[in-house]
Amino acid sequence: MTREHLVHQIVVKKSFLCVGLDPDMKKIPAHLLQYDDPIFEFNKAIIDATSDLCVAYKPNIAFYECLGRKGWQSLEKTMDYIPQSMFTIADAKRGDIGNTSKKYADTFFEYLDFDAVTVAPYMGIDSVSPFLEYTDRWVILLGLTSNQGSDDFQQMKDSNGIPLYEKVISKAQEWGRPDNLMFVIGATHPDSFGTIRAMAQDYFFLVPGIGAQGGDLDMVVKSGRNPDMGLLVNSSRDIIYAGSGTDFQNDVRRKAMELQQKMAAHITL
């Protein structure tokens, strides 16, 4: 998907919401367990309830891999069901030596036809560049993540007081462009958003951490937006597990709509 198409969807839907499709067999509504593929049925219901309210879906690959062959089949069926107009993100956090990264890129871009994949930058350019070779596909590089452990390495400072995540974001802009590279920036670091936006003015940020992890949407938009909005704000648990009954889709839609309406107030494109 091109950047222009993504921005168009944000304007048309008045939303920059990304819904995380992280299905847990222990958490999905019990009545779905009677189906041959409960994971797909769950995802299908989520998509039906939210596709007019969001611009992106982000399956977390671990929730499918852990189920073996059936999990991959559920993922394939889910990808086939997601409307073509949606931006799709494989939350896989891959990153390995070049020939291995090439195979990961083939998996997610050719076989599964995702628009984007999350990539870990620790091994440097040769682990990232194979993903950047694809036209109209995106690398979403881990920058400053929302988890507590981000303190362990990402915020370590050098002798000049520059944290590692700033070096990663600066260096990566030598590898990719604003039309094929995004950064993961967690909403749990509101004080850093302004600095990061100044460093990467034209780039999109994928923002986890709103809702269950305590991030604040208004603060993220205030400090992190750019002229194209430049944000995809992800919500997973808060939306997909908003209900547990046979009518859980209604609760899912209500929760997604609450967030979309808050976003609409910020859309001035």
Cβ 240 vs Cβ 46: under 8 Å: yes
183, 167 in Cβ contact below 8 A? Answer: no
Which class for 24: exposed (0-12), middle (13-18), buried (19 or more C-beta within 10 A)? Answer: middle
User: If residue 188 lies in a helix (H) or strand (E), which one and from where to where?
Assistant: none
Question: Annotated catalytic sites, by residue?
Answer: 93
Exposure b/e, 105-120, CB count within 10 A at least 16 = b: bebbbeebebbbbbbb
